[in-house]
Amino acid sequence: MLRSADMLTVLMVFVVTMLTAAAQSCHYLDRNPYRNFGILTDYQAAKLSLATYAIDTSYQATTLDCVVLSYWQFSREGTSLPEYGLVDPSTTDALLFLKTKIIESHQLGRGSLCAEDLSALVSWTGPPVGVLEGVGELTSVGAHDLYATARRYSSAFFGPVYDFSPASFRVVHSSSSASYSSALAILHGMTPPTSTSPHLGALTPQLYLRGSDDLTQYKCRLSSEVWRGAGGEEQEMVAGVTESVRVRLGLPEHLFGRGHLQWTYDACRAAVAVDPSAYSPWCAIFSKPELELLELVDDSIWYRRLGLHRHNYEEMINYELMPACRSLQHLMEYFRGIVEEGHFHQHRLTSARVIVSDASALLRLLAVLGVNAEATPVTATDPAMLHHRRWRVSELAPFGGHLVLTLTRCHQQEFFVRAYLQETPFPILNCPTDCPWGVFLANVDHLLGYCPDVLHCPSSANAVTAEDLVVLLLGVTIILGVMWGRDGVLLSR
């Protein structure tokens, strides 16, 4: 069995060999640039990527004799950047200085960027509007994606006879500005083009939208184990990418370290997040294999952050995934009221509920439901995970990403639940595409059995221990290293 030091050496050799073998293409001329950047992935890129292994692409029920009675959606906010910004003024100054050094290295014949990419870098004067400010507002791209997606669902499920009223349709959102704007975009997208509903003469959003503290108050502190796991193998992978990019840029080691890699990676993915069709010269310094490696590192950190590496399911839910319990309870109360109490119309959709929250909330819910679960843990040390894994944050929780569950009633009085992830039908809870209500009910009740009776952060997750203080000091040291370009670590944001 290899020792830890030997394993890290093997990893480093693997990374450097693979990246060296990858030919550097001209990013400016690439008609299919890399767009998968974890939680900063745009919706259309995620949808296209997810469709490569989808079951089918149809919204339709199993048979023509089935009627969709109810619609439940848990959605992430649309395209918006966090209020603190990914690229602050000091980082911009550092990137401008780095740009000068890259140009000088190419003038001396040391760099290998193509002429088009180098020319674009010469013209770069700062991040696009919205990246530097980090205003936390929904972008026009995000609003369009949410509206268009909601319109497609509305056309597929609601029909012209749906009674679109505050009693039957409700959108719940968290307190953030992006969440409210996202809820508003979804509401307008789901509004029928023509309807006899008296509320639609002049749509009054306040009748349909509702803010909820439930979406924010159960976000417990993450286990300190996550940050301890962000070193070791992941850092070696990042070190390999750092060295590969440094050589491509023709820079000495003191001018391009892991901190510089973090700055350039953030500048690249933030620009693409604001405008997916935009070209960023900072994306041009990376090859696609390097971006794939960085995505794998990010996914492996999220995998542990959510507790999916744990073997004890009860422990996993009670700590990292406990906030998803509230969403599951809401879902089951809603569906049970329709099935068991008969609150539905015989021939058309009865009601719809939409919940809008953030990426971590959506990831937690999907993780509890086992969506795209892996047979083996996602780790940055497994080369097979690079291209052959289903658990990808960029596909599960992109901007505007969502899980839709529909409750269908068929001619023999049977009820079925169907799940859609980014508009793609998916199996859920070990069920086929259409899950019989009894099976779905039993599976979800089994999951809820792991949830505490009173939803609160467990005391062990809130207590600050001496070990936590050591981890905190280590984390501060790493962050300072990133700020000054020394021994930083690539972290999810």
**Distances from the Cα of 357 to the Cα of 138, 158, 179, 211, angstroms:** 13, 23, 6, 11
Query: Which among 25, 6, 39, 84 has a CA at the least distance from the CA of 394?
Result: 39
Instruction: Count the helices and strands in the chain (H runs, E runs).
Output: 17, 8
Q: For 188, which DSSP code?
A: H
Rounded distance, CA 405 to CA 73, Å?
6
Residue 211, classified by CB atoms within 10 Å of its CB into exposed (0-12), middle (13-18) or buried (19+), is: middle
Rounded distance, CA 241 to CA 260, Å?
12
The total number of structural domains in the chain stands at 1
pLDDT category, 272, cuts 50, 70, 90? Answer: confident
In a domain? residue 268: no
Buried b (16+ CB within 10 A) or exposed e, 80-105: bbbeebbbbeebbebbeebbebbeeb
User: 12 CB contacts (<8 Å, ≥6 apart)?
Assistant: 236, 239, 240
Whichever domain contains 444, its CATH number is 3.40.50.1240
In a domain? residue 436: yes
Rounded distance, CA 83 to CA 347, Å?
46
Summarised one tens digit per residue, pLDDT across range 402-422 is: 999 999 888 767 899 999 999
Element (H, E) at 210: strand 209-211
pLDDT category, 382, cuts 50, 70, 90? Answer: confident
Q: If you average pLDDT over every residue of the chain, what do you get?
A: 77
pLDDT category, 466, cuts 50, 70, 90? Answer: very low
Q: Which of 240-254, 412-426, 447-461 has the highest mean pLDDT?
A: 240-254
Q: Is 38 left (phi over 0), alpha (psi -120 to 50) or beta?
A: left
Q: Which of 110-124, 150-164, 222-236 has the highest mean pLDDT?
A: 110-124
Rounded distance, CA 2 to CA 14, Å?
15
Summarised one tens digit per residue, pLDDT across range 210-245 is: 887 666 544 444 333 333 445 577 888 889 999 999
Q: What is the structure's pLDDT at 11?
A: 44
For residues 197-208, average pLDDT: 64
Q: For 157, which DSSP code?
A: I
In a domain? residue 31: no
Q: Is 12 left (phi over 0), alpha (psi -120 to 50) or beta?
A: alpha
For residues 109-132, average pLDDT: 87
Rounded distance, CA 140 to CA 275, Å?
9
Rounded distance, CA 409 to CA 420, Å?
17
Element (H, E) at 406: strand 402-409
Q: For 348, which DSSP code?
A: S
- CB 422 within 8 Å of CB 46: yes
- CB 50 within 8 Å of CB 424: yes
Beta pairing partners, 74: 355, 403
User: 232 CB contacts (<8 Å, ≥6 apart)?
Assistant: 4, 8
Please state the pTM of the whole predicted model.
0.82
> Domain of 54?
49-80+161-214+309-451
Rounded distance, CA 259 to CA 97, Å?
14
For residues 163-177, average pLDDT: 84
Summarised one tens digit per residue, pLDDT across range 338-348 is: 888 776 666 67
Residue 411, classified by CB atoms within 10 Å of its CB into exposed (0-12), middle (13-18) or buried (19+), is: exposed
Q: Which of 18-22, 208-212, 252-256, 462-466 has the highest mean pLDDT?
A: 252-256
In a domain? residue 382: yes
pLDDT category, 65, cuts 50, 70, 90? Answer: confident
CB-CB neighbours of 48 under 10 Å: 12
- φ, ψ for residue 409 (rounded to 5)? -120, 130
- CB 182 within 8 Å of CB 215: no
In a domain? residue 232: no
